[in-house]
């Protein structure tokens, strides 16, 4: 029996910006859209942030507007966005756009090596609720590294809302986050992400105090989760398909 809504959804904000972190972005712009505010908070605390771009997003110019130089132009946009966030550590892994799943073994091995050397206190990855195949493949990498290496993982939302267990107040970081997104002129040509992100981050304050104007939502994987937590059961279903009713009888 659920006695309080807060058992299902967060009604207070959290702050885990006192840790060094890795950010896995399937494509350039995912990091700014999904967790740009959180990234800025880590930087403000003087923590190390390294953003890893799994692909160059080279198939994102759907109508060929930017021509053969699209990949280079998008990379220039990426560097400007990182600078706006305050990030000075990054890697481009250059897997083919929409093919991250096909490179699953290779990409996961690279991630394990990076975790061993960088030793992050937290890893941000796209959530399994996302529909893009690269976003889903990246989510699976996050799940595996949490299960095998016991590193806390925060799933973030880009194009699809997730069922969060953590909200982060980014009211003071929203303007800077939007500044970073604005540098992705190639992507804004096709989609007004600033308008949509503002709406999503404003909506995430529905259960918070009026002073919180914008928030980012995450599902945080750590050692404190319980197998029968509703949100955790829903999340596990993406990675370990088991008949839903059996979750209640472990």
Condensed to tens digits (0 to 9), the pLDDT of residues 169-182 reads 999 999 999 999 99
Q: Compare 2 and 75 and report the one with higher pLDDT.
A: 75
Which pLDDT value is given to residue 109?
A: 97
| Ordered domains of the chain (ranges, CATH) | 17-249 (3.40.50.10320)
Q: What is d(CA 145, CA 147) in angstroms, rounded to the nearest whole number? A: 6
Q: What band does 3 get if pLDDT is binned at 50, 70 and 90?
A: low
Q: What is d(CA 170, CA 37) in angstroms, rounded to the nearest whole number? A: 5
Q: What band does 4 get if pLDDT is binned at 50, 70 and 90?
A: confident
Which pLDDT value is given to residue 226?
A: 60
Q: What is the pTM of this model?
A: 0.93
Condensed to tens digits (0 to 9), the pLDDT of residues 92-111 reads 999 999 999 999 999 999 99
DSSP one-letter string for 78-100: HHHHHHHHT--EEEEEEEPTT-T
Assess contact for 17 and 41: CB atoms under 8 A. Answer: yes
Assess contact for 107 and 121: CB atoms under 8 A. Answer: no
Condensed to tens digits (0 to 9), the pLDDT of residues 20-65 reads 999 999 999 999 999 999 999 999 999 999 999 999 999 999 999 9
In the sheet that holds 89-95, the strands lie side by side as: 89-95, 49-55, 21-25, 122-126, 153-156, 215-221, 166-169
Q: Is the pLDDT of residue 246 over 60?
A: no
Which pLDDT value is given to residue 56?
A: 96
Per cent of the chain over pLDDT 90 is 85
Give the CB-side neighbour count of residue 235, counting CA atoms within 13 A: 27
Q: Is the pLDDT of residue 247 over 80?
A: no
Average pLDDT, the chain: 92
Please state the φ and ψ torsions of residue 32, each to the nearest 5 degrees: -75, -45
Condensed to tens digits (0 to 9), the pLDDT of residues 187-242 reads 999 999 999 999 999 999 999 999 999 999 999 998 776 666 667 777 777 887 65
């Amino acid at each position: 029996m659920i006695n309080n809504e807060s058992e299902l959804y967060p009604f207070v904000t959290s702050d885990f910006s006192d840790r060094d972190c890795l950010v896995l972005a399937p494509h350039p712009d995912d990091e700014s859209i999904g967790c740009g505010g959180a990234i800025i908070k880590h930087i403000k605390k003087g923590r190390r942030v390294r953003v890893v771009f799994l692909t160059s997003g080279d198939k994102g110019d759907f109508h060929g507007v930017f021509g053969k130089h699209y990949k280079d132009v998008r990379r220039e946009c990426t560097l400007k966005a990182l600078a706006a966030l305050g990030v000075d550590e990054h890697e481009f892994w250059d897997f083919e756009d929409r093919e991250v799943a096909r490179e699953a073994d290779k990409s996961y091995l690279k991630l394990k090596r990076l975790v061993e050397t960088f030793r992050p206190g937290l890893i941000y990855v796209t959530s399994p609720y996302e529909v893009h195949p690269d976003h889903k493949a990246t989510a699976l990498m996050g799940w595996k590294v949490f299960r095998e290496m016991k590193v806390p993982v925060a799933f973030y939302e880009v194009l699809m809302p997730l069922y969060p267990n953590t909200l982060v107040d980014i009211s003071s970081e929203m303007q800077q986050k939007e500044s970073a997104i604005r540098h992705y002129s190639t992507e804004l040509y096709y989609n007004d992400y600033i308008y949509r992100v503002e709406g999503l981050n404003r909506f995430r304050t529905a259960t918070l105090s009026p002073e919180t104007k914008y928030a980012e939502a995450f599902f945080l994987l750590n050692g404190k989760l319980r197998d029968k937590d509703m949100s955790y059961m829903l999340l596990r279903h993406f990675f370990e398909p088991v008949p839903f009713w059996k979750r209640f009888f472990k």
